[in-house]
Every structure is written in structure tokens, then in C-alpha cells.
A and B are shown apart, each in its own frame.
Chain A
Amino acid sequence: MNWVNDVIQGILLGGYYGIIACGLALMFGVMRIINLAHGDIAVLGAFLMYLLLQHWSVSPFIALLPVLPTMILFGYVLQRLVLQRSLRAGILTPLLATFGLSIVIQNALEQSFGPDVQSLGGQAGSLVTAAWRINSQISISALGGLTFGAAVAVYAALQLYLSRTPSGRQMRASAEDPDTAELVGINSRAVYARATAIAIGIATLGGLALALRSTFSSYSGPDQLIFAFEAVVIGGLGSSLWGALLGGIVLGVAQTIGSQINPEWSVLSGHIVFLLVLISPRGGLLTLRSGRRAPASLPQAGT
């Protein structure tokens, strides 16, 4: 039963896409910013961990400990200094700002680390090779399982934050109607800065997952962005928080099944599913069309 194995591997791969997509969906849901630098930010996180591991022989998970707060701080400052200003100038300006940021990060990474392909898989020890073998054809890799578990944990934590904490409720209120949110005393700039900080923190986790399971270089960001974007759209752009994880899983399964048919079709079949969802009347297109009035990609309380 190769198909069963493909679907399982696809779901596990979907966990990675779900992590990458989560921050993208959060920033879009709260501020309507499509962060074109999202993939590059994940890769930046991966390079920071790589840099630490050059000098410090520890597990990549230990390297995450200082990198994660650094990236969260980076997200906060990025929102305060760059994106907040660009938001005043309409919808297009934040898009251009993040596009510029994407180029800056790519070039800065190449300048600092060169064009070589890197991976942190080597420093992760047996985790990369360990697998849970169910039968002769189905096996679940430790890394895949861990990534998927991390994805579910990230979404659950975000859901809990948004539905149960005062700060999360304020984020949902701001996402829905920023002007009214101001009138009840919510400082939307502070809320936006928190949202970006969280989104970039999650992107950094995605960067670690990427660095462990695969290779990365200065120019790996745009590929990650495309997969993240596809996952968000397949999940129904902004209809619910978990949609992005679901979209990631659909994308992952489409890719593994595609590669089973023909190894060259892996990425292509993911794109095809994305396009099918985009043109279907009930799918992503519907929510894209309704634009700003689409419900924010945040969970509803009590559901």
C-alpha cells in the first residue's frame, strides 16, 4: 500500500507547510498585510541558527533558544518602524515594503553567508534518521512526526491565545474593525506589533523545520513563501485559523501523490491543486473577492 504511505508522508509534510503558513495567515488576518518577505524571514532564522552552530557545537534545538526571542524582537521592531508606516499609505505600500524587505534579506544573507547550500540536519544527530516503522511500506520519520506535532501545537497555542487572553481578544477585535477597536481603548499599533512578532516567531520555527528536513540557501525564501501562500489560499484565505494547517496538509498530500505518479510532478501537482481551489466558486477565490470584508483568519470564541 504505497498510497497509504504517500498520504501519511504528505500529511507530515503538510505540518511543515502549516507552520510556514501560520504567520502569513496571522499577519493577513490581523492587518491585511501580505508579507512577501515571510519565506526569507524563515530562512533568516535558519541562518542565524546556522551561525550559532558554527561556533557552538550543540543541537539545533538549543540554537533556537536565543534565535527565537531575537526574531520575535525583530518582528516587533519591523512592525513599529517599517510596516506600521507603510500601512498608512494604503494596501499596496505594505506589499511593496515587504517585497523590498525580501530582496534586502536575500542579498544580506548572500553577502554574509555566500551562495552555498546549508543544512542543520547533520547537527541534529539521530533525529534526522530515526523512524517509526509500522510495516514494510509505512514508516513515520521522527523529524516528520515532530514537525507535524509542532504544527498542531503552534496552532493550538495561537487559538488559545486568541480566544482566551485579553490580548488575543483585542487582536481579534482589531482585526475585525480597527477604528471601533480604538474607540473601546485598544491601541492597534501595539496589537499589530504583537501580531507581527508572533508571526515572525512562528516563521522562525518554520526556518528550523526547513533547515532540519532539507537544505536552504540565501535564495530559499521565495519557494517557502509560495508554499505558505498556497497553503493559506487552499485553506480558504482567512475563513479560519486552522484552515492554513489544513491547506498545508492538502498541499503536502498533493505533492507526495504527484511525486508518486512522476517524481518531477511533486511541486507541480501542488500548484495544480492550488489553482483548482483558486478557480473553484466556493474556494479561495470567493474569500479573495470579498476582500476586506472577509472575516479575519482568527478563530471564533467557543467554537
Chain B
Amino acid sequence: MLAAAGVRKQFGALAALGGVDLDVGPGDAIGIVGPNGAGKTTLLNVLAGTMAPSGGTVSFRGADVTRSSAARRARLGIARAHQVPRPFGAMTVFENCLVGATAGGGLRRRAAYARCLEVLELCGLIELADRRADSLGLLGRKRLELARALATDPVVLLLDEIGAGLTDAEAAELVAMLKALRGEQGLAVVWIEHIVHVLVQVVTRLVCMDAGRVISDGEPAAVMRDARVVDAYLGTAAA
């Protein structure tokens, strides 16, 4: 459905992505792991359209979207949540979602309001709906980041380390929320996360990247046992 084919991204002499293929099917839950600098966030940027690839193509539901803007892709159904939440601080929590629902989701009036109430309920923000977004704490902002992305009525949700900085209890809430989402909305999720034990509670497929390439892709347990994955994290065992 959302597919990257041979995607390359060059930053000067550095190849951040050296030909990555990734295919996200409807309802897939894919976790992306890998050491720092593996190109995970760059891949997400290319998928979301905030960064143009140096080579390769990105397609969504059969159409080539490599040259489409991030805004266009958001309207098509690709949503993105940042590692560091970036709410529209001067607007209320509800308005943040409303902007997503009207611009990204193409919803109007009642439908947009209903969508916002639904996602705010789901993300546990309904009581804070009239608060200014910049008055929220970190967890609240993370919830809002997710709620705003969901308000755009996405088909695929791209998550960048949204678990970072959360306590175990908060991470557990996040996991429950994502599971509920996947169950109710049949949403596909691509999630970058360093906290693997949190990640594997949600994802059904794990992709490990290293130095701009996919080095392992499959069942989470199998990927974690893969010798190449162990090497990437711990270095090659002395033979």
C-alpha cells in the first residue's frame, strides 16, 4: 500500500539511505529498529514527504507520490507524529485536532468535530480539549501529537520514537492506545522506537536498519535473533 522502492538519500558524501525497500500493507504494524544513524528517521521523512529522496520511488495505493508534498500526502492518508511533539501552542487542544481534521482529513463542520471528539476521547485528552496546547505537559503533548495525526483520518500512521521519555506506566498506556486504534480503525502503523520491549507489544513485523540499509525484516522474535541484527547493535563476535 505504502511502498518505498530503492530509496536513497545522500547528505553530501554520506549515504543516509542506501537503497531501502519497504512495503507497508493495509493494517500492518511495522516496527523499525536500528542503531543511531541507521537512517530510520530519514526513511520516515522520505515516506512522509518532508524530505525528497535522492533516488528511488515512494508509492501509495499504487500511485507514485515521490514528488508529492507532505501536505498532499497528509490529505491522501499518510500521517506523521514527531519524536518531540510540535503542537500549535497558541491554539487549543481541540483546535489542533480540528486543523488536522479539516486540512488533512478533508472533513467539514459536523464530521470534523465528531472526528476530533473521537480521537481526543481515544487519546485521553477529552477533558483537556479547551486548554491551550502549550499548557500541556510532555505526556499531554505526546498524546496531542498522536491525536492531531489521527484527526487527519490516516490510512498509515508514521511514528517517530513517540515512546521516548515516557515512564513504564505511560508507555503501557501508549501501547494500549495504539492496540485499540489498530483494532478499531484498521490503521497501518510504522513505528520507530528504541524501546524494543514496548515496540514488540504492538508490532507484528520488525525491520532492522543499519547504515542506511534494511538488514533484517520479518517476525519480531526472528529479527531479534538474527545474527546481523546482533552484530549491528553489539559489534561482530570474535570468531
* A296 to B, closest residue via Cβ: B90
Alpha-carbon separation in the docked complex, A298 to B75 (Å) = 25
A161 smallest CB distance to B (angstroms): 14
Chain A CB within 8 A of B50 CB: yes
The residue of chain A having its C-beta at the shortest distance from the C-beta of B109 within the complex is A166
A182 to B90, CA, bound (A): 17
Q: A183-B50, A184-B103, A185-B104 are in contact. Are A172 and B90 (CB under 8 A)?
A: yes
CB of A158 to closest CB in B, whole Å: 16
Q: Write the nearest CB–CB distance from B7 to chain A, whole angstroms.
A: 19
Q: Which of the four size classes fits the interface of chain A?
A: 20 to 34
How far, in Å, is A175 (CB) from chain B's closest CB? Answer: 9
From the candidates A170, A185, A188, name the one contacting B152 in the complex (CB within 8 A). A185
Residues B120-165 near A (CB distance < 8 A): 130, 132, 148-149, 151-152
Contact between B99 and A184 (Cβ–Cβ < 8 Å)?
Answer: yes
* Contact (Cβ within 8 A) B86 A187: no
| Per-residue contact bits, chain A 160-203, to B (CB 8 Å; 1 contact, 0 not) | 00000010011011001101111111111000000000000000
Cβ contact of A300, chosen from B82, B103, B105, B132, cutoff 8 A: B132
Residue count of chain B within 8 Å CB distance of chain A: 35
Within 8 A of B (CB), among A272-303: 295-296, 298, 300-302
A198 to chain B, nearest CB (A): 18
Given the contacts A166-B98, A185-B152, A302 and B92 also touching, CB distance less than 8 Å: yes
CB pair B103–A186 under 8 Å, yes or no, is: yes
Give the distance in Å from the alpha carbon of A182 to the alpha carbon of B72 in the complex: 8
Once A166-B98, A169-B91, A169-B98 are accepted as A-B contacts, the answer to whether A182 and B86 lie under 8 Å apart by CB is: no
B100 touches which one: A172, A184, A302 (CB < 8 A)?
A184
Q: Which residues of A approach B to under 8 Å, CB–CB?
A: 166, 169-170, 172-173, 176-177, 179-188, 295-296, 298, 300-302
Known: A182-B70, A184-B99. 7 other contacts (CB 8 A): A176-B88, A176-B89, A183-B70, A183-B79, A186-B71, A186-B99, A300-B132
